[in-house]
Amino acid sequence: MLSMKQETIREILDILEDTYPEAECALHHGDVFQLIVAVALSAQTTDKSVNQVTPALFAAYPDAFALGDADPEEVSTYIRRIGMYKTKSKNIVKMAKMLTEKYDGKVPEDYDKLVELPGVGRKTANVVLSVGFGHQRIAVDTHVFRVANRIGFVCEKDVLKTELGLMEAVPEARWSRTHHSLIFHGRNCCDARKPDCEHCSIGHLCEKHL
């Protein structure tokens, strides 16, 4: 359900882009394979934590063939400082193995094929298509969900409806940039428990205060 006028949404997006000109994917990666692994690892943990473990992980397993042949228990030793590391190690090994068996070790540029991979859900697939392949996508993580509903872009109770609502509310050419802008605003200002409304660049347009 849409909650805000199109002109206001465009004005907010313009301000957020000016406020966070550096907003982009914060996960360190060298190619699309490393990107999909990093995004899968980032579930329910911070990008900063993932970036701390992936250099050694990617040095040991630089491609899908190396990771797909790995022992999940050995892989888990590289990522044990992040949440759910045992489950994630099993998933990324299974994912890499499927990539080698079905796609010659390459990450497919197709949503339906991506979500068939172990450990890859809607958000991960959208991030890979956006950041890895340049498609316009809105991936709804906890920051995007919170900020989009709090400021009034949409008024939804779940992630999927929020994504679909944002796709309707935001011009397609701005989808990917909007995703990153909302994440940066959520991290830097619109905190879950204590939003810094006093210093918010879009506070005068936010429906939380209207």
Domain boundaries, given as residue ranges, for the chain: 6-24+138-209, 32-120
**pLDDT tens per residue across span 172-189:** 999 999 999 999 999 999
Work out the pLDDT band at 208, boundaries 50, 70, 90: confident
**pLDDT tens per residue across span 125-138:** 999 999 999 999 99
Q: Quick check: do 6-24+138-209 and 32-120 share a fold? A: no
pLDDT for res 3: 61
pLDDT for res 4: 86
Helix %, strand %, coil % of the chain (to 5): 60, 0, 35
Which pTM does this prediction carry?
0.92
User: Is 138 within 8 Å of 126 (Cβ atoms)?
Assistant: yes
pLDDT for res 133: 98
pLDDT for res 1: 60
Work out the pLDDT band at 2, boundaries 50, 70, 90: low
**pLDDT tens per residue across span 129-172:** 999 999 999 999 999 999 999 999 999 999 999 999 999 999 99
Q: Is 190 helix (H, G, I), strand (E, B) or coil?
A: coil
Residue of 47, 88, 97, 123 with catalytic role: 123
Phi, psi of 104 (to 5 degrees): 55, 35
Domain 32-120 fold:
Endonuclease III; domain 1 (1.10.340)
CB contact set of 62 (below 8 Å; sequence gap of 6+) = none
Average pLDDT, the chain: 95
Residue 10 CA, distance from chain mean position? 22
Q: Is 154 helix (H, G, I), strand (E, B) or coil?
A: strand
Residue of 47, 88, 97, 141 with catalytic role: 141
Q: Residue range 82-104: average pLDDT?
A: 97
pLDDT for res 39: 97
Residue 4: name the closest of 180, 167, 205 by CA. 205
Catalytic annotation present for 208: no
Q: What is the CATH number of domain 6-24+138-209?
A: 1.10.1670.10
**pLDDT tens per residue across span 4-43:** 899 999 999 999 999 999 999 999 999 999 999 999 999 8
**pLDDT tens per residue across span 54-88:** 999 999 999 999 999 999 999 999 999 998 999 99
Work out the pLDDT band at 209, boundaries 50, 70, 90: low
Token pair of 45 as six digits:
């943990």
Catalytic annotation present for 5: no
